Amino acid sequence: MGLLSFGEPLSHPENRKHAAHVRRHGIKQFINIYNQNKDRIDRCFKWGDEIEYVIVRFDHNNQKVRLSLRPKDILEVMDEREAREGPKCEVLWRPEYGSFHIEATPGQPYGHQNEMNSKKSMNCWFNNVENNMRERRRDIKHLLGPDEALLCLGNFPRLGCDDISVPYSSPDPLNSSTGSIFVSDVLTNSAHPRYIKTGYNIVQRREKKITINIPIFKDTKTPDPFIELFNDKESNREAKVDHIYLDAPVLGMGCSCLQVTMQATNIEEAFVLNDQLLPLTPIMTALSAATPIFRGYLSDYDCRLEASSASMDDRTPEERGERPLKHDKFRIHKSRCAPLNTYLCECNARYNDNPIVYNTEFYDEMISAGVTPSLAQHMAYVFIRDPTVTYWEKLDQNDSTETDHFENIQSTNWQTMRFKPPPLNQQSIGWRVEFRPMEIQMTDFENAAFSVFT
């Protein structure tokens, strides 16, 4: 989910008031990172995967499966072990947006031992991937209840329906952070203030509830037209005919995916990785398609991207083009969770022929600091967004030694690929590219196959 700083979140009006400050200092922090690492060379290629799981509980007597909301308790145990064992941990566990979600990665990136043994073939690590994924299941098994299971599901099929969680939760539109008529705040991770506050700020910023409409699959028994009526005027207005209507961030960000992060030798190699993988993003989404059901209905789409994109769409009416620009600077054509559309190698700049909106002031500042034009344009596009959450304790930072403002906005642009600079003053992590378009698969073999193929 990105940066997880702790502190007291600003109210939505204060968050908007300080957004320009966060953006301005975020760009300065990026320039410092760039200048510190532009000539950096790392000895070997390293990579790793991230798998997002859901935990479910089986009710065998009534033949029902519900989401288990116990990941928070499990993570407390795993965090204690990680603090105790450090780099010896073979698996690292992290929170995710849903309170039924949990994310796992290998304890060390594949290829890390190549730093000590340069003759060791990179191919030898490919055989370790599936086994590490199996180890993750073994690692957590003793913490699961007798009727609980760790599953790889693109989307829990009945997420948004009644009676889907243990303990039971019911929607409370008048008191929830997002006004959802389908889910309560209980289904959003409460272990960290960022998650619920993100959903609340997105709804406040867009000046209406989240609106997700997924085309329904038309079968012989499907009503034609397919129309749902709700006890909510806004929902009835926003829901489209022949579509599955959803209205909360967790109904999109509650989907799971498979991500692969690769560390390049230097920044030029990272540019090449970005540009070679960019045309593959829609192809890999299609090849891995595994999310055909939303709120209990079979969808005409089989991928999560449309739901995820709409669930994080925080654009104001002015930015969406529904009102003339007055308080905002840009007409933004898509959500902050959307396909990537920028090449980074200067030799591929001619392919950046799809006009994008970017902050020209930030672009000029980066060019003056020596950042390459294509990278400067990419970052200037990323930084047209407001931070989703800002903390009082992190508002004033030393741009020479801290990077929270940069990461705050960088990590909340959920594009199909993410170009990741090294952390400031960090020797073990270099220039990386995060490949994000793939759907999660049900088996470890399939997830390992897609990871290795990438």
Going by C-alpha positions, the residue among 280, 304, 252, 290 that lies closest to residue 447 is: 290
- In the prediction, which pLDDT does 142 show? 95
- In the prediction, which pLDDT does 4 show? 55
Predicted confidence (pLDDT) per residue in 347-383, tens digit: 999 999 988 999 999 999 999 999 999 999 999 999 9
SS3 at position 250: helix
**CA 202 – CA 65 distance, rounded (Å):** 31
Predicted confidence (pLDDT) per residue in 222-273, tens digit: 999 999 999 999 999 999 999 999 999 999 999 999 999 999 999 999 999 9
> Mean pLDDT across the stretch 339-346?
95
**CA 356 – CA 381 distance, rounded (Å):** 7
Tracing tokens 């890999």 back to the chain, one arrives at 284
Q: And the tokens for 141?
A: 């098994």
pTM of the prediction? 0.94
Identify whether the C-beta of residue 66 lies closer than 8 Å to the C-beta of residue 56. yes
Going by C-alpha positions, the residue among 144, 142, 131, 172 that lies closest to residue 54 is: 144
- In the prediction, which pLDDT does 191 show? 84
- Secondary-structure class of domain 12-453 per CATH: alpha beta
Going by C-alpha positions, the residue among 156, 140, 191 that lies closest to residue 56 is: 156
Predicted confidence (pLDDT) per residue in 118-151, tens digit: 555 566 678 889 999 999 999 999 999 999 999 9
DSSP letter (8 states) at residue 11:
P
For residue 226, with 0-12 CB atoms within 10 Å meaning exposed, 13-18 middle and 19 or more buried, which class applies?
Answer: middle
Q: And the tokens for 388?
A: 């989703």
DSSP letter (8 states) at residue 179:
-
Residues 6+ apart with CB under 8 A from 87: 107, 108
- In the prediction, which pLDDT does 113 show? 62
What is the C-alpha R_g of the chain? 22
- In the prediction, which pLDDT does 114 show? 56
Residue 391 has pLDDT above 70, yes or no: yes
SS3 at position 212: strand
- Residue 317's CB: how many other CB atoms inside 10 A? 14
